[in-house]
Chain A
Amino acid sequence: MPRCRPTTTEQSAFFVRYLLADPERAAAFRTVLRGLAAGAPYDPEDLRAALDVDWGALDRDFELWVRRAYLAPRRGALSPGSG
């Protein structure tokens, strides 16, 4: 059993966003989706092949995207004020 328990839901949601965020990735992803809609059985390899990237590179790129898009340090935080 893969150890994804703490983040499965978040990761799946953000992975879909990641796939759609880039036009090329989105086109590949939509191709896979159309295949599913047409009745093709789901196979993770289809997605990987459509993206034309190996799993390790996909991991690294996805993590980088998440960090850039969502996990950037906050700026302009409110000062605590003088009360």
Chain B
Amino acid sequence: MSFSPEQLRRYGRQMVMPELGAEGQERLRGGSVLVVGVGGLGSPAALYLAAAGIGRLGVVEDDRVDASNLHRQVLYGTADVGRPKIEAALERLHDLNPDVDLVPFPERLRADNARRLVAGFDVVVDGSDNFATRYLVNDACVLEGKPDVFGAVLRFEGQLSVFWAAEGPCYRCLFPEPPPAGLVPSCAEAGVLGVLPGVVGGLQAAEAIKLVTGIGEPLTGRLLLFDGMATRFREVEVPKAPTCPACSPGAGDFELVEYADHCSEGGTMTEELPLAIDVAELARRREAAEELVLIDVRTPMESSLARIEGGTLIPLQELASRADEIPADREVVLYCHHGPRSDRAALFCANAVSRRSLRERHRRLEPPGRPHGSPLLGGAGRRPPCRVVAVAAAPSSCCAVPPSPCGAWLTGHRLRSLDWVARWPPAAPWVERFRATFGEPQRRGPWPLPRMDPPSSSCRRARRPTTPGPGSGFAKGRRSTGRRRRARPSGRQEATANLEVIERDGEWYRVRARGRGAGKAWVRLAGGGGEAAPSPGVVEPAAPCSAVAPDAGTVTAALSRMGSAARRVPCGGYTLVTDAELATWIGLCERVVSPLDEAYERALGVAPIGAPAEAIFLFADATAFRSFAAEVSGVRSGYAGHARAARGYLALPAGPVGPTVRTLVHELAHLVSRRALGPALPRWLSEGIADLLGDEATPAGLGTVRGSLGAEGEMQRLQAAYGGRLAGSVERLVRLGPEEFDAALPSYDY
């Protein structure tokens, strides 16, 4: 263990730490790391590993430097544009630390070389930018028993973990199979903040150094999530999957295959919708003066950078609301930057018409090369320069899919804001549709009060519809000195007081009675709901809300949207109805639902009442989810545009794991609250319980929500509020009704 004076000067700042010391530096010198891909993630990882004095550093890379790489791939400079990355990278790394033995592999990681390359190093740092390589790295590491330091970035978010089958889970324990094509956007589509790969790549280097030197606690069995917008780190526990196709005892030894042939990258939507034409053909047809309608489905920002003359900009997110701008009698060419968005736009249009008739009206036009899909969270990926998807007609029925934010407004509590919503042009048709279906919101009574039983203890216990009888279900004494005295039913009487309906949720009505027996209550009018006004009939007092299973129509609507891939999976006490292929989601829901019930009872001391008959509808396709949310009635709004929680069920699109998991936990907490406390639960309390349970449920395996509640952002808002004396008083808070509470809610964006 000897170091030259120059080496002592170079590494002194880290050798002085007792945890590392000279022994750790010696281990670094004797260690080796293979960096697969020196792009956004691999650049900082390789730089820090070289700077730290790793003994041998292998680099796998076969790409060339592009100008679009420079904002995040800090190994390269402007002068390197066009050069092979591995050449430029080795020059820079050698300049940084000549002591390091640099081993270049100017090739792509393939099935026939992966095991050989991985076997020659102690640790593998995965800096790849596509699913094929990512799964290949994982599988090769499993077979060779090497730790795989995983990193991924997209937009402002990053992920990090150490997959090491000998010590914990592997990548396939978390994601057994690649996601469906188009589900995960690439950095080229969604963008990435340049510094994000620096943060995650630097952490990858730190993990690799810890593994080589044996210090600290490696990130095995944990997935670290970084939210760059909120500057927030969270952790998810990742257990070893007993049925993992790669590292479980039952998996056995297996041969590596060329994953590019199997991963969803090859399975693009275009295969289902073979309508693509290439740029050259588009140019030729335009030169031939063919009448084509060009629709640019990129963002306004992209359009401002470069556009095709004569094209009309309709961003993909606005396509549903602006479908009437697309002529139905002319051939339409949809285009974007890389292809997936125009694929989705074309599929969106084609979904509403007969696929057969569409084919008949089109020539089949193949793209100029292998269809491409979404690369893994990571770098920009390599793609054909451009591709165009053409459809001949944009059916007017495209409008059947609403713009996403409207559903929550139209079906939620804010019924009285219909006019306000209608002023937003995209929402106007949906306001009309809502009114046609449900009529005008009934804000004021009087409504006839049917005869009913008082909320006696016997009927509370029974929790069943009561027969017409004496007394008032809303009887409540006048207040005196702050304490409430309940009125006793005094013999048989006909309740004739007028009720003012102040809120409606499906068959449930929140009513206010004035005068004697004043009070508010949720009641359910039998025979109510739908288009007809509820008729007087049997009233169920504001009793505990027993679990309400989604009606057959709701289930049928979900199944029809999901198609043949729909499955029903038991999830604790709930039923998961999903077409998502990701077994991860199913496992996730199983881990969420049961501990949530337990956490509820533990925290609040009130056991959930009734059988947990709720269902979770998890849609793999966001368009199908929105369509479902627009179709079913009685949907109660969750939060802005993302989740729809209704009494009895929860519908969610299977999106990115982090935010969707939080939404799932939050909305499930609302469902549990309603099941236990009934619809009389005030909204502020429901919110508080949902947040509390999100926190409480963390130790039970819901690590995803750890730190998201009561975390920095909320703290800062609360601190600013109290510092500036802006916080509402507790009294005002607890007196907020549902409408006021909703109006006072800040905009949630999961």
Contact = CB atoms under 8 A, between A and B. Distances in A.
Nearest to A67: B722
A2 B732 contact: yes
B717 A7 contact: yes
A46 B484 contact: yes
A41 B692 CA distance: 23
A34 B606 contact: yes
B542 interface: yes
B479 interface: yes
Contacts of B484: 43, 45-46, 49
Given A6-B726, A39-B543, A67-B722, A12 B733 contact: yes
Interface in A1-49: 1-17, 20, 26, 30, 33-34, 36-49
Nearest to A2: B732
A26 B692 CA distance: 14
B715 interface: yes
B476 A15 contact: no
B271 interface: no
B119 interface: no
A24 to B, nearest CB: 14
A47 B733 CA distance: 12
Nearest to B740: A1
Contacts of B106: none
Contact of A71 (B542, B604, B715): B715
B691 to A, nearest CB: 4
Contacts of A36: 677-678, 680-681
Interface in B645-701: 676-678, 680-682, 684-685, 687-692
B687 A9 contact: yes
Interface string B33-65: 000000000000000000000000000000000
B446 to A, nearest CB: 19
Contacts of B691: 9, 12-13, 16
Interface in B690-724: 690-692, 709-710, 714-715, 717-722
A70 to B, nearest CB: 6
Contact of A37 (B676, B718, B736): B676
A40 B680 contact: yes
Contacts of B720: 6
B745 interface: yes
B685 A16 contact: yes
Interface residues of B, number: 63
Contacts of A7: 717-718, 721, 726-728
A61 B314 CA distance: 54
A39 B460 contact: yes
Interface string A40-74: 11111111110000010011001100110011000
A7 B746 CA distance: 8
For B482, B682, B734, which residue has the most chain A Cβ atoms within 10 angstroms?
Answer: B734
Given A15-B688, A71-B722, A4 B727 contact: yes
Contact of B736 (A4, A16, A63, A70): A4
B544 interface: yes
Interface in B541-560: 541-544
A37 B483 CA distance: 19
Contact of A15 (B606, B609, B709, B733): B733
A49 B680 CA distance: 19
A79 B740 CA distance: 45
A10 B717 contact: yes
B520 interface: yes
A41 B743 CA distance: 22
A51 to B, nearest CB: 10
Contacts of B474: 41
Nearest to A58: B730
Contact of B728 (A4, A30, A39, A40): A4
Contact of B730 (A15, A38, A39, A43): A15
Contacts of B741: 8, 12
Contact of A5 (B482, B520, B542, B744): B744
A5 B139 CA distance: 51
B515 interface: no
Contacts of A47: 734
B710 A55 contact: no
Given A40-B680, A42-B682, A67-B722, A5 B746 contact: yes
B519 interface: yes
For A38, A55, A63, which residue has the most chain B Cβ atoms within 10 angstroms?
Answer: A38
Contact of A59 (B479, B692, B710, B731): B731
For B519, B609, B682, B685, which residue has the most chain A Cβ atoms within 10 angstroms?
Answer: B685
B544 A39 contact: yes
Contact of A6 (B457, B521, B717, B740): B717
B677 A63 contact: no
B499 to A, nearest CB: 13
B603 interface: yes
Contacts of A59: 729-731
Contact of B521 (A3, A10, A16, A41): A41
Contacts of A10: 714, 717-718, 721
B727 A63 contact: yes
Contacts of B460: 38-39
A16 B687 CA distance: 9
B455 A39 contact: yes
Contacts of A55: 729-731
A22 B73 CA distance: 53
A66 B609 CA distance: 32
Contacts of A67: 722
Nearest to B737: A42
Contacts of A43: 484, 519
Contact of B687 (A2, A13, A40): A13
B310 interface: no
Contacts of A9: 687, 691, 714, 745-746, 748
A42 B738 CA distance: 12
A13 B714 CA distance: 10
Interface string B247-271: 0000000000000000000000000
Contacts of A40: 455, 542, 680
Contact of B740 (A2, A17, A26, A34): A2
Contact of B710 (A44, A49, A70): A70
Contact of A48 (B482, B710, B715): B482
A31 to B, nearest CB: 9
B483 A49 contact: yes
A34 B457 CA distance: 13
Contacts of B717: 6-7, 10
Given A6-B726, A8-B745, A44-B735, A13 B676 contact: no
B746 A12 contact: no
7 contacts: A9-B691, A12-B684, A17-B692, A37-B678, A42-B685, A49-B484, A71-B718
Interface of B: 455, 457, 460, 474, 476, 479, 482-484, 519-521, 541-544, 603-606, 609, 676-678, 680-682, 684-685, 687-692, 709-710, 714-715, 717-722, 726-736, 740-741, 743-746, 748
Given A4-B736, A37-B676, 4 more contacts: A13-B688, A26-B605, A33-B606, A44-B735
6 tightest CB-CB pairs across the interface, nearest first?
A4-B728, A16-B688, A13-B691, A2-B732, A55-B731, A12-B688
